[in-house]
Structure 1
Amino acid sequence: MAAPRWVLGLLAVTAAAALTGCTGGGREAACDTTGGIVECTPEQRSAAPGIAGQLLTGEDYDVAGQRGQVVVVNFWGSWCAPCRAEADDLENTYQATKDSGVTFLGINVQDSRDKAIAFEEAYGVSYPSIFDPGSRLALAMDIPPNTIPATVVLDREGRIAVVIRAAVRQEGLQPIVERIAAESPASSGER
Protein backbone atom coordinates (compact mmCIF):
# COMPACT_ATOMS: atom_id res chain seq x y z
CA MET A 1 0.00 0.00 0.00
CA ALA A 2 1.39 3.43 -0.98
CA ALA A 3 1.88 6.08 1.66
CA PRO A 4 -0.61 8.97 1.64
CA ARG A 5 0.64 12.14 -0.09
CA TRP A 6 0.63 14.11 3.16
CA VAL A 7 2.99 11.54 4.74
CA LEU A 8 5.40 11.88 1.81
CA GLY A 9 5.19 15.67 2.08
CA LEU A 10 5.86 15.53 5.82
CA LEU A 11 8.86 13.27 5.24
CA ALA A 12 10.25 15.70 2.64
CA VAL A 13 9.84 18.68 4.99
CA THR A 14 11.43 16.73 7.87
CA ALA A 15 14.38 15.72 5.70
CA ALA A 16 14.90 19.31 4.50
CA ALA A 17 14.76 20.58 8.10
CA ALA A 18 17.27 17.96 9.20
CA LEU A 19 19.67 18.92 6.42
CA THR A 20 19.29 22.63 7.25
CA GLY A 21 19.95 21.88 10.92
CA CYS A 22 23.23 20.17 10.04
CA THR A 23 24.63 23.28 8.41
CA GLY A 24 25.06 25.06 11.73
CA GLY A 25 22.69 27.91 10.94
CA GLY A 26 23.67 31.42 9.97
CA ARG A 27 27.45 31.20 10.25
CA GLU A 28 27.83 28.27 7.90
CA ALA A 29 25.03 29.41 5.60
CA ALA A 30 27.07 32.56 4.80
CA CYS A 31 30.26 30.62 4.10
CA ASP A 32 31.35 28.59 1.08
CA THR A 33 30.11 25.00 1.31
CA THR A 34 31.51 22.36 -1.02
CA GLY A 35 31.39 18.59 -0.56
CA GLY A 36 30.83 18.59 3.22
CA ILE A 37 33.48 21.29 3.78
CA VAL A 38 32.39 24.70 5.02
CA GLU A 39 35.06 27.37 4.65
CA CYS A 40 34.63 30.92 5.90
CA THR A 41 36.61 33.97 4.86
CA PRO A 42 38.18 35.93 7.73
CA GLU A 43 35.30 38.43 7.62
CA GLN A 44 32.72 35.62 7.98
CA ARG A 45 34.36 33.80 10.90
CA SER A 46 32.92 33.68 14.38
CA ALA A 47 34.66 32.86 17.62
CA ALA A 48 34.70 29.23 18.62
CA PRO A 49 32.98 28.36 21.89
CA GLY A 50 35.27 27.57 24.80
CA ILE A 51 37.08 24.28 24.31
CA ALA A 52 38.47 22.98 27.56
CA GLY A 53 38.45 19.75 29.51
CA GLN A 54 40.50 16.88 30.84
CA LEU A 55 42.86 15.11 28.45
CA LEU A 56 42.87 11.33 28.18
CA THR A 57 46.12 11.48 30.16
CA GLY A 58 44.37 13.31 33.02
CA GLU A 59 45.78 16.84 32.64
CA ASP A 60 43.54 19.86 32.14
CA TYR A 61 43.60 21.53 28.73
CA ASP A 62 42.18 24.79 27.40
CA VAL A 63 42.47 25.66 23.72
CA ALA A 64 42.60 29.35 24.68
CA GLY A 65 46.23 28.71 25.62
CA GLN A 66 46.92 28.01 21.93
CA ARG A 67 45.90 31.51 20.75
CA GLY A 68 48.27 32.59 17.98
CA GLN A 69 48.39 29.07 16.52
CA VAL A 70 46.09 27.40 14.04
CA VAL A 71 44.25 24.66 15.93
CA VAL A 72 42.83 21.62 14.15
CA VAL A 73 40.13 20.04 16.33
CA ASN A 74 39.03 16.52 15.42
CA PHE A 75 35.97 14.87 16.99
CA TRP A 76 36.36 11.08 17.12
CA GLY A 77 35.45 7.84 18.89
CA SER A 78 37.21 4.48 19.04
CA TRP A 79 33.95 2.85 17.93
CA CYS A 80 33.82 4.94 14.73
CA ALA A 81 35.14 3.15 11.60
CA PRO A 82 35.72 6.37 9.60
CA CYS A 83 37.66 7.73 12.61
CA ARG A 84 39.98 4.73 12.42
CA ALA A 85 40.36 5.27 8.67
CA GLU A 86 41.39 8.92 9.05
CA ALA A 87 43.72 8.52 12.05
CA ASP A 88 46.92 8.15 9.98
CA ASP A 89 45.96 11.08 7.74
CA LEU A 90 45.39 13.32 10.76
CA GLU A 91 48.68 12.30 12.38
CA ASN A 92 50.59 12.76 9.11
CA THR A 93 49.04 16.22 8.59
CA TYR A 94 49.91 17.14 12.17
CA GLN A 95 53.55 16.08 11.68
CA ALA A 96 53.76 17.96 8.35
CA THR A 97 52.33 21.25 9.68
CA LYS A 98 53.28 21.51 13.36
CA ASP A 99 56.43 23.55 12.61
CA SER A 100 54.34 26.26 10.93
CA GLY A 101 52.37 27.27 14.02
CA VAL A 102 49.74 24.53 13.83
CA THR A 103 48.59 22.30 16.66
CA PHE A 104 46.06 19.48 16.73
CA LEU A 105 43.54 18.50 19.39
CA GLY A 106 41.33 15.45 19.43
CA ILE A 107 38.02 15.39 21.25
CA ASN A 108 36.95 11.85 22.09
CA VAL A 109 33.17 11.44 22.37
CA GLN A 110 30.84 8.72 23.62
CA ASP A 111 33.66 6.41 24.59
CA SER A 112 35.40 4.84 27.56
CA ARG A 113 38.78 6.22 28.55
CA ASP A 114 40.44 2.79 28.20
CA LYS A 115 39.16 2.27 24.64
CA ALA A 116 40.14 5.83 23.66
CA ILE A 117 43.67 5.41 25.02
CA ALA A 118 44.01 2.04 23.26
CA PHE A 119 42.88 3.70 20.00
CA GLU A 120 45.53 6.43 20.28
CA GLU A 121 48.24 3.87 21.03
CA ALA A 122 47.19 1.58 18.17
CA TYR A 123 47.13 4.42 15.62
CA GLY A 124 50.18 6.32 16.89
CA VAL A 125 48.29 9.52 17.68
CA SER A 126 50.80 11.92 19.22
CA TYR A 127 48.66 15.04 19.74
CA PRO A 128 46.45 15.39 22.84
CA SER A 129 42.77 14.46 23.08
CA ILE A 130 40.15 15.75 25.49
CA PHE A 131 37.99 13.02 27.00
CA ASP A 132 34.36 14.10 26.47
CA PRO A 133 32.15 11.01 26.93
CA GLY A 134 29.00 13.15 27.22
CA SER A 135 29.78 14.97 23.94
CA ARG A 136 29.41 18.34 25.66
CA LEU A 137 32.09 19.99 23.49
CA ALA A 138 30.80 18.43 20.28
CA LEU A 139 27.32 19.79 20.94
CA ALA A 140 28.72 23.24 21.79
CA MET A 141 30.44 23.25 18.38
CA ASP A 142 27.23 22.12 16.62
CA ILE A 143 28.74 18.69 15.90
CA PRO A 144 26.09 16.07 16.66
CA PRO A 145 27.95 13.10 18.18
CA ASN A 146 26.29 10.70 15.75
CA THR A 147 27.85 12.58 12.80
CA ILE A 148 31.51 12.12 13.65
CA PRO A 149 34.17 12.20 12.51
CA ALA A 150 34.22 15.95 12.11
CA THR A 151 37.16 18.33 11.94
CA VAL A 152 37.15 22.04 12.75
CA VAL A 153 40.05 24.35 11.88
CA LEU A 154 40.43 27.42 14.08
CA ASP A 155 42.46 30.37 12.84
CA ARG A 156 45.14 32.10 14.92
CA GLU A 157 42.44 34.27 16.53
CA GLY A 158 40.45 31.25 17.74
CA ARG A 159 37.74 31.73 15.12
CA ILE A 160 36.12 28.92 13.13
CA ALA A 161 37.69 28.97 9.66
CA VAL A 162 36.72 25.54 8.31
CA VAL A 163 34.31 22.77 9.32
CA ILE A 164 34.64 19.35 7.68
CA ARG A 165 31.73 17.03 8.37
CA ALA A 166 33.32 13.87 7.01
CA ALA A 167 36.43 11.75 7.39
CA VAL A 168 39.54 13.55 6.17
CA ARG A 169 42.48 12.50 4.03
CA GLN A 170 45.88 14.16 4.27
CA GLU A 171 45.79 15.35 0.66
CA GLY A 172 42.56 17.24 1.36
CA LEU A 173 43.23 18.46 4.91
CA GLN A 174 46.86 19.55 4.67
CA PRO A 175 46.31 22.23 1.98
CA ILE A 176 43.45 23.68 4.02
CA VAL A 177 45.55 23.81 7.18
CA GLU A 178 48.51 25.30 5.31
CA ARG A 179 46.26 27.95 3.74
CA ILE A 180 44.88 29.03 7.13
CA ALA A 181 48.38 28.97 8.66
CA ALA A 182 49.74 31.17 5.84
CA GLU A 183 47.14 33.91 6.30
CA SER A 184 48.75 37.25 6.96
CA PRO A 185 47.98 38.91 10.29
CA ALA A 186 45.84 41.53 8.51
CA SER A 187 43.68 38.91 6.79
CA SER A 188 43.24 36.74 9.86
CA GLY A 189 42.02 39.65 11.95
CA GLU A 190 45.12 40.28 14.07
CA ARG A 191 45.86 43.93 14.80
Structure 2
Amino acid sequence: MRRALPALLVALFLTGCSSGPDAVDVNDGGEFRFVEATPTGEVIPPDERATAPEFSGTLLGGGEFSSTELSGDVAVLNFWGSWCPPCRVETPEFQEVYADVRDDGVQFLGLNVKETSEQFALAFVDRFGIEFPSLYDPRGEVALAFRDYPATAIPSTIVLDREGRVAAVYTGEVSQEDLRGVLDLVLGEV
Protein backbone atom coordinates (compact mmCIF):
# COMPACT_ATOMS: atom_id res chain seq x y z
CA MET A 1 0.00 0.00 0.00
CA ARG A 2 2.83 2.44 0.85
CA ARG A 3 4.33 1.95 -2.62
CA ALA A 4 1.00 2.35 -4.42
CA LEU A 5 0.03 5.61 -2.72
CA PRO A 6 2.67 7.84 -4.41
CA ALA A 7 1.82 6.37 -7.83
CA LEU A 8 -1.89 6.94 -7.19
CA LEU A 9 -1.27 10.56 -6.17
CA VAL A 10 0.79 11.21 -9.31
CA ALA A 11 -1.92 9.64 -11.49
CA LEU A 12 -4.62 11.76 -9.85
CA PHE A 13 -2.53 14.92 -10.28
CA LEU A 14 -1.84 14.24 -13.96
CA THR A 15 -5.50 13.47 -14.57
CA GLY A 16 -6.42 16.77 -12.95
CA CYS A 17 -4.02 18.75 -15.15
CA SER A 18 -6.14 18.10 -18.21
CA SER A 19 -9.59 18.05 -16.71
CA GLY A 20 -10.87 21.39 -18.00
CA PRO A 21 -13.49 22.80 -15.65
CA ASP A 22 -12.17 20.65 -12.81
CA ALA A 23 -8.70 22.20 -13.05
CA VAL A 24 -6.29 21.65 -10.19
CA ASP A 25 -5.00 24.59 -8.19
CA VAL A 26 -1.21 24.61 -8.21
CA ASN A 27 -0.34 27.26 -5.67
CA ASP A 28 -1.29 28.31 -2.21
CA GLY A 29 -3.53 31.16 -3.42
CA GLY A 30 -5.37 28.99 -5.93
CA GLU A 31 -5.11 31.72 -8.57
CA PHE A 32 -3.15 29.77 -11.19
CA ARG A 33 -4.57 26.59 -12.68
CA PHE A 34 -3.81 24.00 -15.31
CA VAL A 35 -6.61 23.95 -17.86
CA GLU A 36 -7.62 21.87 -20.83
CA ALA A 37 -6.39 23.43 -24.05
CA THR A 38 -8.75 25.44 -26.19
CA PRO A 39 -8.88 23.48 -29.46
CA THR A 40 -7.80 26.30 -31.77
CA GLY A 41 -7.74 29.31 -29.50
CA GLU A 42 -10.02 32.29 -29.74
CA VAL A 43 -9.14 34.59 -32.62
CA ILE A 44 -10.69 38.00 -32.10
CA PRO A 45 -11.92 39.91 -35.17
CA PRO A 46 -9.84 43.10 -35.73
CA ASP A 47 -12.75 45.47 -35.06
CA GLU A 48 -13.42 43.81 -31.67
CA ARG A 49 -9.86 43.80 -30.30
CA ALA A 50 -8.96 45.61 -27.09
CA THR A 51 -5.58 47.17 -26.43
CA ALA A 52 -3.39 44.97 -24.25
CA PRO A 53 -2.42 46.37 -20.85
CA GLU A 54 1.04 47.89 -20.58
CA PHE A 55 3.50 46.06 -18.38
CA SER A 56 7.15 45.94 -17.45
CA GLY A 57 9.44 43.81 -15.38
CA THR A 58 12.77 42.10 -14.94
CA LEU A 59 13.96 39.53 -17.44
CA LEU A 60 15.21 36.13 -16.35
CA GLY A 61 18.92 36.54 -15.75
CA GLY A 62 18.60 40.32 -15.35
CA GLY A 63 17.72 43.38 -17.39
CA GLU A 64 14.54 45.38 -17.62
CA PHE A 65 11.75 44.97 -20.17
CA SER A 66 8.79 47.15 -21.11
CA SER A 67 5.86 46.14 -23.28
CA THR A 68 6.57 49.24 -25.39
CA GLU A 69 9.44 47.19 -26.90
CA LEU A 70 6.78 45.10 -28.67
CA SER A 71 5.34 48.09 -30.54
CA GLY A 72 4.87 47.62 -34.26
CA ASP A 73 5.43 43.85 -34.21
CA VAL A 74 3.13 40.90 -33.78
CA ALA A 75 3.86 39.50 -30.32
CA VAL A 76 3.35 36.10 -28.72
CA LEU A 77 3.09 36.26 -24.92
CA ASN A 78 3.37 32.86 -23.27
CA PHE A 79 2.65 32.48 -19.54
CA TRP A 80 4.56 29.47 -18.22
CA GLY A 81 6.21 27.85 -15.24
CA SER A 82 8.88 25.18 -14.95
CA TRP A 83 6.46 23.34 -12.64
CA CYS A 84 3.86 23.08 -15.46
CA PRO A 85 3.89 19.76 -17.39
CA PRO A 86 2.09 21.14 -20.50
CA CYS A 87 4.69 23.95 -20.64
CA ARG A 88 7.42 21.34 -21.04
CA VAL A 89 5.68 20.17 -24.21
CA GLU A 90 4.77 23.48 -25.83
CA THR A 91 7.82 25.60 -24.96
CA PRO A 92 10.26 23.71 -27.24
CA GLU A 93 7.64 23.95 -30.00
CA PHE A 94 7.37 27.70 -29.41
CA GLN A 95 11.14 27.90 -29.85
CA GLU A 96 10.80 26.21 -33.26
CA VAL A 97 8.12 28.67 -34.35
CA TYR A 98 10.14 31.60 -32.97
CA ALA A 99 13.22 30.51 -34.95
CA ASP A 100 11.12 30.53 -38.12
CA VAL A 101 9.32 33.89 -37.64
CA ARG A 102 11.62 36.14 -35.61
CA ASP A 103 12.83 37.89 -38.77
CA ASP A 104 9.25 38.44 -39.99
CA GLY A 105 8.19 41.06 -37.43
CA VAL A 106 7.17 38.61 -34.70
CA GLN A 107 8.45 38.80 -31.14
CA PHE A 108 8.03 36.14 -28.47
CA LEU A 109 8.05 36.89 -24.76
CA GLY A 110 7.75 34.29 -22.05
CA LEU A 111 6.26 35.30 -18.72
CA ASN A 112 7.48 32.97 -16.01
CA VAL A 113 4.96 32.92 -13.15
CA LYS A 114 4.71 31.46 -9.67
CA GLU A 115 8.25 30.11 -9.68
CA THR A 116 9.77 29.38 -6.26
CA SER A 117 13.26 30.17 -7.55
CA GLU A 118 14.60 32.00 -10.59
CA GLN A 119 17.16 29.18 -10.87
CA PHE A 120 14.38 26.71 -11.73
CA ALA A 121 13.19 28.99 -14.53
CA LEU A 122 16.72 29.53 -15.86
CA ALA A 123 17.35 25.77 -15.83
CA PHE A 124 14.12 25.23 -17.78
CA VAL A 125 15.13 27.80 -20.42
CA ASP A 126 18.59 26.28 -20.69
CA ARG A 127 17.28 22.70 -20.85
CA PHE A 128 14.99 23.47 -23.79
CA GLY A 129 17.35 25.89 -25.59
CA ILE A 130 14.89 28.77 -25.46
CA GLU A 131 16.26 31.86 -27.19
CA PHE A 132 13.40 34.31 -26.71
CA PRO A 133 13.35 36.38 -23.52
CA SER A 134 11.17 35.72 -20.49
CA LEU A 135 10.09 38.02 -17.71
CA TYR A 136 10.52 36.67 -14.22
CA ASP A 137 7.13 37.30 -12.58
CA PRO A 138 7.10 35.11 -9.44
CA ARG A 139 4.13 36.93 -7.92
CA GLY A 140 2.12 36.79 -11.16
CA GLU A 141 1.65 40.56 -11.34
CA VAL A 142 1.87 40.74 -15.15
CA ALA A 143 -0.41 37.72 -15.51
CA LEU A 144 -2.99 39.43 -13.32
CA ALA A 145 -2.89 42.48 -15.61
CA PHE A 146 -4.16 40.11 -18.33
CA ARG A 147 -6.73 38.40 -16.10
CA ASP A 148 -9.58 39.24 -18.48
CA TYR A 149 -8.13 36.94 -21.16
CA PRO A 150 -7.35 34.75 -18.82
CA ALA A 151 -3.60 34.54 -18.31
CA THR A 152 -4.03 33.09 -14.84
CA ALA A 153 -4.58 29.68 -16.41
CA ILE A 154 -1.16 28.14 -16.96
CA PRO A 155 -0.09 27.73 -19.68
CA SER A 156 -1.78 30.61 -21.50
CA THR A 157 -0.76 32.33 -24.70
CA ILE A 158 -1.88 35.70 -25.99
CA VAL A 159 -1.09 36.94 -29.49
CA LEU A 160 -0.96 40.71 -29.99
CA ASP A 161 -1.35 42.37 -33.37
CA ARG A 162 0.96 45.13 -34.65
CA GLU A 163 -1.19 47.73 -32.90
CA GLY A 164 -0.73 46.10 -29.49
CA ARG A 165 -4.26 44.72 -29.42
CA VAL A 166 -5.19 41.22 -28.24
CA ALA A 167 -5.72 39.21 -31.44
CA ALA A 168 -5.88 35.65 -30.10
CA VAL A 169 -6.12 33.92 -26.72
CA TYR A 170 -5.26 30.35 -25.80
CA THR A 171 -5.68 28.63 -22.47
CA GLY A 172 -3.75 25.41 -22.10
CA GLU A 173 -1.21 23.88 -24.43
CA VAL A 174 -1.08 25.39 -27.93
CA SER A 175 -0.34 23.25 -30.97
CA GLN A 176 2.49 24.47 -33.14
CA GLU A 177 0.25 24.18 -36.21
CA ASP A 178 -2.44 26.40 -34.70
CA LEU A 179 0.06 29.00 -33.52
CA ARG A 180 1.60 29.18 -36.99
CA GLY A 181 -1.85 29.58 -38.54
CA VAL A 182 -2.80 32.44 -36.25
CA LEU A 183 0.55 34.16 -36.81
CA ASP A 184 0.09 33.89 -40.59
CA LEU A 185 -3.39 35.38 -40.23
CA VAL A 186 -2.30 38.29 -38.02
CA LEU A 187 0.83 38.97 -40.09
CA GLY A 188 -1.36 39.12 -43.20
CA GLU A 189 -3.57 41.86 -41.79
CA VAL A 190 -3.09 45.28 -43.31
Q: Considering the TM-score relative to the shorter chain, is it more than 0.5?
A: yes
For 2:42 and 2:177, locate their aligned partners in 1 and report how far apart those are by CA, in whole Å: 17
Question: Considering only CA atoms, is the larger Rg found in Structure 1 or Structure 2?
Answer: 1
User: What CA distance in whole angstroms lies between the structure 2 residues aligned with 1:99 and 1:144?
Assistant: 26
Q: Which amino acid is 1:70 matched to?
A: V
Residue identity (%)? 40
Q: Match of 1:30?
A: none
Q: List 4+ stretches of structure 1 deviating above 6 A.
A: none
Deviations 1:89-135 (A, max 9, x none): 10011111111100100000000200000000000110000000000
2:80 paired residue number? 76
CA deviation digits over 1:2-41, x for unaligned, max 9?
Answer: xxxxxxxxxxxxx8xxxxxxxxxxxxxxxxxx73611111
Bigger helix fraction: 1
Alignment partner for residue 122 of structure 1, among 121, 127, 141? 127
The amino acid of 1:163's aligned partner reads: V
Distance, in Å, in 1 between the alignment partners of 2:62 and 2:93 is 25
Matched, 1:93 2:97: yes
Counterpart Cα distance in 1 of 2:161 and 2:151: 22
Q: Equivalent residues in 2 for 1:6-25 (5 A)?
A: none
Aligned to 2:157: 151
- Number of residue equivalences: 151
> Residue 131 of structure 1: SS of its match in structure 2?
strand
Q: Where does the alignment leave 5 or more consecutive residues of structure 2 unmatched?
A: 1-20, 22-37
Match of 1:168?
174
Contact 1:36-1:166 at 8 Å conserved across structures: no
Counterpart in 2 of 1:38? 42
User: How many angstroms apart in 1 are the aligned matches of 2:83 and 2:133?
Assistant: 18
Give the aligned residue type for 1:141.
F
Q: Decide whether the 8 Å contact of 1:89 with 1:168 is kept in 2.
A: no
Local SS of the residue matching 1:148: coil
2:76 and 2:107 in contact (8 A); partners too: yes
Q: 1:179 aligns with which of 162, 172, 185?
A: 185
Contact 1:75/1:107, CA 8 A, preserved across alignment: yes
Structure 1 spans left out of the alignment, 5+ residues: 1-14, 16-33, 185-191
Deviation digits for residues 47-101 of structure 1 (CA, Å, limit 9, x no counterpart): 0011210000210001212211001000000000000011111001111111110
TM-score (norm 1): 0.76
TM-score by length of 2: 0.76
User: AA paired with 2:130?
Assistant: V
Q: What RMSD, in angstroms, separates the aligned Cα atoms of the two structures? A: 1.4
C-alpha deviation, 1:144, in angstroms: 5.2
